[in-house]
A and B are shown apart, each in its own frame.
Chain A
Amino acid sequence: MNYGNINKVNNEIQKLWAKGLGYVASEHVYKFKDYSESVFDTQIESKYWLAHNLHSHVPDIKHISVLASWYGLVLVPMLYHYFGEINIDLYDVDEYTTDIADYIWNEYPKVNVYTKDVVFDDIDYKGSVLINTSCEHMMDMKLITNDHKDKIFVLQSNDNANVKWLHINCAMDVDELIKQSGLTDIMFSESKEIYEHKRIMIIGKHDAPVSPPERAWKYLMTHSDSGRRPQTESSEVANYA
């Protein structure tokens, strides 16, 4: 990967990591391995891929919610690089992780950290965009996207099923992730090889809900010859109403 255009972001990530290390050393020594893995180049590559493509498709965002965020060490600087200092809410189920994240982001007033289980807790997400880069760790995302039909979702998963107990719901390709997500209006979908495994990303939302009369009207219009009154079986209309 060419890091040329994100060198500043990398420097910021390293600076934030060094800051958090002091807190890990004094309060959560046992988390050191987990903490050091959070800035791996695979993280940087996949978050850069995400932020770059999200900005290309949805350039104007004011508030983002990140599900299963971990420390947010790579994603937050990447998003700030593309979107400026927007509001970012980080949600993670592990209270020790969020305690460290709270410390790392304590000088960033627009970054908020919450200890929440994104699967089982009922969360009122403030972001217009919801990001989950850990879909392989949890149930199908459609169970979450169906509850937030007004949001845009950015989802990443991978095909590495060899991580026992953790990667419980991998996706083998883009189609499988789309199916898991339940999203119907897909703006972006792609997969890429990172260290012999496929990483998959989709950006999308649910189609805007259409009322029954609108649906019937749409059906009539698409099944009629132009300039002529539609010759439609009444039962067909009834089916769509």
Chain B
Amino acid sequence: MHSFDVHPKVFAFTMLLYGQQLFLQMANPEKDQEWNKIQPILKKLNEGLSEENRIKGRQRALAFRGSEPPILSDFDDVWYIMYCISNYSVGWVGINSRQNKKELEILKYALINVAKKSNQMFTDYRSRHI
């Protein structure tokens, strides 16, 4: 029976790609200040990856219809989108139009990258659309 989980590749690639881009784009060159922009973002990511958000994200993903891409509004949506990518054929991830934070823009592109990669290995990702 098909289980509805976040695929280990989706989870690991999302975190690794996001981390890489975050450190590349937001590291501060000043001595002893290297992480002052990154640290609060990782804390927000940590809060977004709470068990509560995981349960909610799974429920939302079960109701995902696939006619529109999943939308990233803040870090609370990370579980939801990883569930969608793991279990459906997701070609794109949108971002809430009121959202202009750079760290979320980076996260959006990391998720899109993972979604595209997951489509290359369609059967491995057990998409419902095959």
Q: Which of A16-24, A57-65, A123-131 lies at the binding interface?
A: A16-24
Decide if A40 is an interface residue (CB 8 Å cutoff).
Answer: yes
Q: Which of A172-210 contact B (CB under 8 A)?
A: none
Chain B min CB distance to A119 (Å): 29
Whole-angstrom CA separation of A165 from B15 in the bound complex: 25
Nearest CB in chain A to that of B44: its residue: A25
A41:B8 contact, CB within 8 angstroms: yes
A39:B12 contact, CB within 8 angstroms: yes
Decide if B30 is an interface residue (CB 8 Å cutoff).
Answer: no
Whole-angstrom CA separation of A202 from B9 in the bound complex: 26
Whole-angstrom CA separation of A4 from B9 in the bound complex: 14
Decide if B35 is an interface residue (CB 8 Å cutoff).
Answer: yes
Instruction: Kindly identify which residue among B8, B35, B38, B42 contacts A3, using a CB–CB cutoff of 8 Å.
Output: B8
Whole-angstrom CA separation of A24 from B39 in the bound complex: 9
Given the interface pairs A7-B3, A14-B6, A36-B16, the reply to whether A25 lies near B42 with Cβ below 8 Å is: yes
Chain B min CB distance to A234 (Å): 64
Chain A min CB distance to B117 (Å): 12
Q: Which of A16-70 contact B (CB under 8 A)?
A: 17-18, 21-22, 24-26, 29-30, 32-33, 36-37, 39-41, 44
> A14 to chain B: which residues have CB within 8 Å?
6, 8, 11
Decide if A149 is an interface residue (CB 8 Å cutoff).
Answer: no
Give the secondary structure class of A's interface: helix
How many of chain B's residues touch chain A, expressed as a range?
20 to 34
Q: Which of B46-54, B90-98, B99-107 lies at the binding interface?
A: B46-54
Q: Which among A7, A24, A32, A33 has the greatest number of chain B C-beta atoms within 10 A? A: A32
> A37 to chain B: which residues have CB within 8 Å?
12, 16
Instruction: Kindly identify which residue among A15, A25, A33 contacts B43, using a CB–CB cutoff of 8 Å.
Output: A25
Decide if B19 is an interface residue (CB 8 Å cutoff).
Answer: yes
B8:A44 contact, CB within 8 angstroms: yes
Decide if A88 is an interface residue (CB 8 Å cutoff).
Answer: no
> A18 to chain B: which residues have CB within 8 Å?
46, 49-50
Given the interface pairs A18-B50, A32-B23, A36-B15, the reply to whether A25 lies near B39 with Cβ below 8 Å is: yes
Nearest CB in chain B to that of A9: its residue: B8
Whole-angstrom CA separation of A25 from B36 in the bound complex: 11
List the interface of chain A (C-beta within 8 A of B). 3-4, 7, 10-11, 13-15, 17-18, 21-22, 24-26, 29-30, 32-33, 36-37, 39-41, 44
Task: Name 6 interchain pairs, CB-CB below 8 A, sorted by A.
Answer: A7-B5, A15-B51, A25-B42, A26-B39, A29-B42, A32-B42
Closest 5 pairs (CB-CB, A-B): A25-B42, A18-B49, A22-B46, A29-B35, A36-B15
Additional A-B contact list (9), CB under 8 Å, known A18-B49, A37-B12, A39-B8: A11-B5, A13-B8, A15-B54, A22-B43, A29-B42, A33-B19, A36-B19, A39-B12, A41-B12
